[in-house]
Amino acid sequence: MHTITILPGHDRHGNPETFEPLHLRPGDTIAIVGPTGSGKSAFINDIEVFAQGDTATGRRILLNGAPPPEQFVRDPACKPIALITQTTKCLADLTVGEFLAMHLRARKITECDLIERTVALANEFTGEPIRGECRISSLSGGQTRSLLVADAVIISNAPIILLDEVENAGIFRDRVITCLKKTGTSVIFVTHDPLVSLMSDRRIVMGHGAVLAVLEPDGSEAEVLKRVTEIDAYLSSLRERLRSGEVLNETVVAA
Amino acid sequence: MKLIIVAGPPSAGKTAVIRQILRHLPEKSAAYLKIDVIYATEDEEIASEFGIPARKVISGDLCPDHAGIMVLSDALLWAGKEGAEYLIVESAGLCLRCTPYTTESLGIAVLSAIGGTHSPYKMAPMIALADAAVVTRIDLVSQAEKEVFREGIRDVAPDIEIIETNAMVGTGMRYLMKMIDALHEITDAAGITLRGSPPLGVCTVCVGKKQIGWSNHFGVVRRLDSAGSLFRGE
Ligand SMILES: Nc1nc2c(ncn2[C@@H]2O[C@H](COP(=O)(O)OP(=O)(O)OP(=O)(O)O)[C@@H](O)[C@H]2O)c(=O)[nH]1
Ligand SMILES: [Mg+2]
Ligand SMILES: [Zn+2]
Ligand SMILES: [Zn+2]
């Protein structure tokens, strides 16, 4: 079991950050919010490289209370962290099955049901079915993201996943959060998405390159979360109906 | 003087990596030399961005790595006169057969993670004779491909230091900077030699004979069925 601790650094002008050491335990979800340029990506990059005061932010990241062993930082196959960004792509011209098999080979894993399990999990995350025979290059953005998250959980077996603005269309964010919680995976979302922000256990607010606040839900946002969940389900259903060729000519009751 | 030699295919991210190195080094402690075949502008960019002495050499009809070796001792003198503590050489490394790394230097191979999972094999000498392989554009590829790429480098050079980075941001560079901080002063500039063996002799293609087929040539000839499967540059 891994606990990640984030120790404060400083903002863009060198003023120290004031947050208490932040612990990320198995199954925790954290959302990072803030305007563009506020330091959200720098925050998760710090975690990804296990910064030791040697990045622009001066933060330090500990694994189980200490700086992690070098191999955990350097060898992607030992690293407990998987980072998936908007720009992360599978470049190989392979089928989904071949791609996952390539990853298994690189890790020298021989369990043969992992490919099916990964594809099945990816399909829980997206409404557009992915099959093992699909070519990677023909997957949509949502399908690719879903596959990469499933690959991180099942094949990389990464206890910590960092998702940099991957909420965009075609992926059921609520299911990703619920599933990752179930598997004990810790997740940090950089997000502009109300559903992801409200569903997370904690919310970090960024500004001027620093953590401005760490918010913990006290139940006061429950009603808004309920409403956002309904709106999200409504939008998903519209998306599915449009995809199947329906005309949406019903009357809509104003909210 | 300390010597850092950076090589890698076109657009691999060599200059991006060098910018990160320059940000790490004490201000104005380095001189920069770019060796390219046809065209280069980095010397002007680096000079104006970092305020350090910078020059370029266009190798034209010479292999850029050969041109680099020819000018290197002059370049060390030039960097010394400019008061630099480090000389950073960026080589276009176009032919993938030669390598520019010398003794008494830190040799850095830069390769791009989006080059495809076979690219480490295609650049075997450039990687195998280097001290560090810096893999750029790690921000753009999936975890699976990162791991496969790393395995490829390990196959070619089992003991090399591998540094994966988004060179635009400088993530993961700390281990490269450690190597740079541990770099020794050149002790005997006149005794510096190439690490790898240069390509064999001069073949008759080099001197301008255009006919195809080994039977039209003499000196060093090669038949189809005498080829090996991987060349590491020793
Ligand atoms: N996303 C991303 N872009 C990069 C990275 N490294 C370099 N680039 C971009 O790739 C382009 C080429 O990088 P350079 O550093 O100029 O490459 P080079 O090897 O010096 O190129 P030549 O000297 O012209 O052969 C630039 O536009 C860089 O901004 C990286 O790690 N990630
Ligand atoms: Mg360049
Ligand atoms: Zn050459
Ligand atoms: Zn020749």
Which residue's CA is minimally distant from atom 15 of ligand 1?
B13
* Residue numbers in chain A where pLDDT is lower than 70: 167-169, 254-255
Beta pairing, strands A210-215 & A202-207: antiparallel
**Which of the four pLDDT bands, split at 50, 70 and 90, describes residue B227?**
low
What's the Cα-to-Cα distance from B106 to each of A203, A205, B32, rounded to whole Å?
A: 44, 42, 14
CB B150 within 8 A of CB A102: no
Position B233 scores a pLDDT of 61
The yes/no answer to whether this complex scores an ipTM above 0.95 is no
Per-residue confidence (pLDDT) for residue A55, from 0 to 100 = 86
Looking at chain B, the whole-number percentage of residues with pLDDT higher than 70 is 93
- Looking at residue B226, its pLDDT comes to 63
Interface of A with B in 199-238 (CB under 8 A): none
DSSP H or E run through A103:
helix A96-106
In a domain, A252, yes or no: no
- If one counts the domains in chain A, the total is 1
- Rg of chain A on CA atoms, in Å: 19
**Gap from CA of B66 to ligand 3 centroid (Å):** 6
CATH number at residue A189: 3.40.50.300
Write out chain B residues lying below 8 Å of A52, CB-based.
Answer: 174
- For residues B22 and B77, the answer to whether their CB atoms sit within 8 Å is no
Q: Cβ–Cβ of B116/A82 closer than 8 Å?
A: no
Burial class (CB in 10 A: 0-12, 13-18, 19+), A85: buried
Domain residue limits at A113? 4-243
Exposure string for A113-151, b = 16+ CB within 10 A, e = fewer: ebbeebbebbbebbbeebeeebebeebeebbbbbbbbbb
Specify if A250 maps to a domain. Answer: no
Alpha-carbon distances, residue B63 vs A132, A243, B38 (angstroms): 46, 56, 11
Which pLDDT score is estimated for A169? 63
Half-sphere exposure in the Cβ direction for B162 (13 Å, CA): 27
CB-CB contact of A121 with A100 (8 Å) = no
Q: Is residue B206 part of a domain?
A: no
Give how many domains chain B has, as a whole number: 1
The reported pLDDT for the residue numbered B85 is 97
Residue A148 lies in a domain: yes
Residue whose pair of structure tokens reads 């990464």 in the numeric block: A158
Sole residue written with tokens 């988004």: B166
Reported as a pLDDT band with limits 50, 70 and 90, residue B203 is confident
Give per-residue burial for A4-39: e unless 16+ CB within 10 Å, then b: bebbbbebeeeeebeeeebebeebbbbbbbbeeebb
Q: pTM of this prediction?
A: 0.85
E-strand stretches of B149-207: 161-164
Query: Searching chain B, which residue's CA lies closest to the CA of residue A86?
Result: B140
Atom 7, ligand 1: residue with shortest CA distance: B13
CATH number for the domain spanning B69: value is 3.40.50.300
Pull the structure tokens for residue B80: 């010394």
> Is residue B179 less than 8 Å (CB to CB) from chain A?
no
Residue of B nearest to A84 (CA): B142
**Which residue type is seen at A8?**
P
Q: Which atom of ligand 1 is nearest to the CA of B34?
A: 23
Sign of CA dihedral B45, B51, B57, B63: negative
* Predicted local confidence at residue A210, as pLDDT: 96
Q: Is B33 helix (H, G, I), strand (E, B) or coil?
A: strand
Q: What DSSP line would sit under B49-105, residue for residue?
A: HH---EEEEE-TTS-HHHHHHHHHHHHHHHHHHTT-SEEEEEE---SSS----BTTE
Instruction: Tell me which residue range forms the domain holding B18.
Output: 2-191
The residues that bridge with A160 in the sheet, in sequence order, are A81, A186
- Determine the distance separating the centroid of ligand 4 and the alpha carbon of B61, expressed in angstroms: 12
Q: Is residue A234 part of a domain?
A: yes
- Ligand 1, atom 24, lies closest to the CA of B11
CA dist., res. B30 & res. B79, Å (int): 8
Residues from chain B that touch A90, judged by Cβ atoms under 8 A, are: 141-142, 144-145
Tell me the per-residue pLDDT of A180-229, one tens digit each, with 9 for 90 and over: 888 899 999 998 889 989 999 999 999 999 999 999 989 899 999 999 99
A61 vs B92, more confident: A61
> In which residue are the tokens 């920069």 written?
B32
CA-derived radius of gyration, chain B? 18
Q: Is A161 on the interface with B (CB under 8 A)?
A: no
Best of B147, B149, B150, B175 to disrupt the A interface (most A CBs within 10 Å) is B147
A16: DSSP letter: B
| Core vs surface per residue A175-199: b (16+ CB within 10 A) or e | ebbebbbeeebbbbbbbbbbbbbbb
Distance CA A155, CA A24 (A): 22
SS3 A187: strand
Is residue A217 included in any domain, yes or no? yes
Q: Does B155 touch chain A (CB under 8 A)?
A: no
| Residues 134-153 (A) with a CB less than 8 A from some CB of B | 148, 151-152
Residue B234's pLDDT is what? 58
Q: What is the pLDDT of residues B94-147, one digit of tens each?
A: 677 778 899 999 999 999 999 888 889 888 889 999 999 999 999 888 888 888
Using the beta-carbon criterion (under 8 Å), do B144 and A88 form an inter-chain contact? no
Q: What is the pLDDT of residues B28-73, one digit of tens each?
A: 999 999 998 888 889 999 999 999 999 998 888 778 888 888 889 9
Write out pLDDT tens, residues B135-188. 999 988 888 888 889 988 998 999 999 999 999 988 889 999 999 999 999 999
Verify whether the Cβ–Cβ distance A91 to B172 is below 8 Å.
no
**Set of chain A residues whose Cβ sits within 8 Å of the Cβ of B166:** 45
